[in-house]
């Protein structure tokens, strides 16, 4: 379905043109004055933005000042030029990545705004490498109630997310992909702001999201990027309209920086797949790399990968690209790349081999496990000895599930807080399936005492039943917003 080109999102202030020679940069203002200026709705110039980011990077900005500026931006917004300036300043706060000339046209990446059970990156990076791409993926940790890719990978004993630019180049030469974190050399200022956003209620600021995502990607020297923009109850952005605004900003600011960016809008009301929690999600990612696993996870991996291959002109159509990604999952080549990536990033080669070739039961033995398991059952109005039909699973709400798991140690309430990699939950039933009264529908993996009454009530509230007939769960993929040069916006239902 055709749609108009990207508009200026509501989270961004109007103003600023793109034509003509740039004006000379004025002297930057003191940091306190910059905070006051943005607090009062003023516009930060390029020199102002660079001064703020420089103070963040060199440690001269106090934590309270960083929080104050983030809140001012969250409340007052930024126009597209301010956002582009912030993106450039963050990207230039560290080392720029440089690649061999022969890799031009092969460098691609995918990023997600964060979801519950979203382990797509763990599968897609090696699948793209198996399709001939170079994937220098710089990822983040969990924000709010959402899980982080780095946290999931660190549940694998020995996996090292901090890699120097020189090590990243070696990884791409040997494997074709790597998944690394920000370091003192790579976009360090964004790493500081990223952690601060998580504890200052500024995670949902569209300019801050845009600058954070694109700054990490600007240093990668990419040919193409697909951003998975989540929307729904458990997403940073609750509505599809808000997600579309962020998508437009990512595409527009990316184009201004010379990046070919597309943004996929995907639903985040129910968890992705059947597992939530770091080690459990690694297990499920390995199932998908086996060519199996939950259909919704495989669907997202192939659609996002297909769009990226098409955007990068490595496939004639999105469907062709999706078929290539699916083939890499089914023939084992993506799993082989994942095994090589694990070994190259610090995992013992024997463990990497056992994880990638072992049975699901063997994998569970090799990864961190919680001490206890506890099952929740579908509400029963009749004695359990006489189970009666309870209904069809209309919906499983991701947000209550994520909030309780965070309380149990699967997430963070403040920056730097340790997590429990074995804590999580398994959905024992999927959306659209029939569930009987008293039948188990959720298995919680916990390290602490039994679930409290309030926690059980919150979790039971995540299960929504209806009396309609069983149905096929809809795809989580809703729309793909493309750069103007790549044609009209595609909407896929």
Sheet holding 275-276, edge to edge: 275-276, 424-427, 440-446, 372-377
Phi, psi of 225 (to 5 degrees): -140, 135
HEC string for 425-443: EEECCCCCCEEECCCEEEE
The one catalytic residue in 216, 244, 274, 412 is 216
Q: Catalytic annotation on 197?
A: yes
Q: Catalytic annotation on 38?
A: no
Return the DSSP state at 318: H
What whole-number distance in Å separates Cα of residue 440 and Cα of residue 458? 16
The one catalytic residue in 38, 50, 76, 110 is 110
Q: Catalytic annotation on 216?
A: yes
Q: Catalytic annotation on 155?
A: no
Q: Which two three-digit tokens encode residue 50?
A: 């660079």
What whole-number distance in Å separates Cα of residue 52 and Cα of residue 55? 5
CA 79 to chain centre: 24
The one catalytic residue in 50, 74, 76, 111 is 111
Q: Catalytic annotation on 385?
A: no
The one catalytic residue in 87, 121, 139, 149 is 149
Q: How many residues does this entry show for the chain?
A: 493
The one catalytic residue in 109, 198, 228, 299 is 109
The one catalytic residue in 141, 169, 197, 274 is 197
Q: Catalytic annotation on 29?
A: no
The one catalytic residue in 141, 145, 217, 363 is 217
Return the DSSP state at 474: P
Q: Catalytic annotation on 230?
A: no
Cα diameter, the chain:
80
Q: Catalytic annotation on 239?
A: no
Q: Catalytic annotation on 486?
A: no
Q: How far is CA 444 from CA 45, 47, 384, 410, 449, in A?
A: 50, 51, 21, 11, 12
The one catalytic residue in 83, 87, 93, 112 is 112
Return the DSSP state at 117: T
Closest CA to 224 of 309, 292, 155, 153: 309
Query: Which residues are part of the catalytic machinery?
Result: 109-112, 149, 197, 212, 216-217
């Amino acid at each position: 379905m055709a749609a108009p080109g990207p508009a200026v999102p509501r989270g961004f202030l109007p103003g600023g043109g793109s034509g003509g020679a740039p004006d000379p940069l004025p002297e930057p203002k003191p940091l306190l004055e910059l905070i006051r200026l943005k607090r009062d709705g003023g516009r930060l110039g390029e020199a102002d933005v660079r001064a703020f980011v420089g103070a963040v990077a060199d440690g001269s900005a106090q934590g309270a000042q960083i929080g104050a500026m983030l809140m001012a931006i969250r409340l007052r917004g930024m126009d597209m030029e301010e956002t582009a300036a912030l993106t450039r300043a963050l990207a230039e706060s560290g080392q720029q990545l440089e690649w061999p000339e022969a890799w031009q046209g092969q460098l691609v990446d995918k990023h997600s705004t964060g979801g519950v059970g979203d382990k797509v990156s763990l599968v897609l990076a090696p699948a793209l490498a198996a399709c001939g791409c170079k994937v220098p993926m710089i990822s983040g940790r969990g924000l709010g109630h959402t899980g982080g890719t780095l946290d999931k990978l660190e549940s694998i004993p020995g996996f090292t997310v901090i890699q120097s630019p020189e090590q990243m180049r070696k990884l791409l030469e040997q494997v074709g992909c790597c998944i690394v974190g920000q370091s003192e050399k790579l976009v360090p200022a964004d790493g500081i702001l990223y952690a601060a956003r998580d504890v200052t209620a500024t995670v949902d600021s569209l300019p801050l999201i845009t600058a954070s995502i694109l700054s990490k990607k600007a240093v990668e020297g990419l040919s193409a990027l697909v951003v998975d923009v989540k929307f729904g109850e458990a997403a940073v952005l609750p509505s599809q309209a808000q997600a579309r605004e962020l998508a437009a900003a990512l595409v527009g600011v990316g184009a201004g920086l010379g990046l070919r960016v597309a943004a996929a809008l995907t639903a985040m009301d129910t968890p992705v797949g059947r597992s939530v929690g770091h080690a459990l999600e690694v297990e499920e990612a390995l199932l998908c790399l086996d060519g199996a696993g939950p259909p919704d996870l495989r669907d997202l991996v192939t659609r996002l990968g297909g769009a990226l291959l098409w955007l990068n002109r490595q496939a004639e159509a999105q469907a062709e690209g999706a078929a290539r990604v699916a083939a890499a999952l089914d023939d084992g080549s993506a799993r082989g790349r994942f095994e090589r990536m694990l070994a190259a990033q610090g995992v013992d080669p024997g463990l990497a081999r056992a994880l990638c070739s072992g049975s699901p039961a063997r994998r569970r033995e090799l990864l961190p496990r919680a001490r206890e398991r506890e099952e929740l059952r579908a509400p029963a109005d009749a004695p359990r000895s006489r189970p009666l039909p309870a209904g069809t699973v209309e919906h499983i709400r991701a947000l209550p599930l994520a909030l309780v798991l965070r309380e149990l140690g699967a997430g963070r309430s403040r920056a730097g807080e340790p997590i429990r990699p074995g804590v999580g939950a398994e959905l024992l039933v999927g959306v659209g399936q029939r569930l009987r009264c008293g039948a188990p529908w959720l298995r919680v993996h916990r390290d602490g005492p039994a679930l409290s009454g309030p926690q059980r009530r919150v979790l039971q509230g995540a299960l929504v039943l209806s009396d309609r007939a069983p149905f096929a769960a809809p795809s989580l993929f809703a729309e793909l917003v493309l750069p103007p040069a790549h044609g009209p916006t595609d909407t896929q239902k």
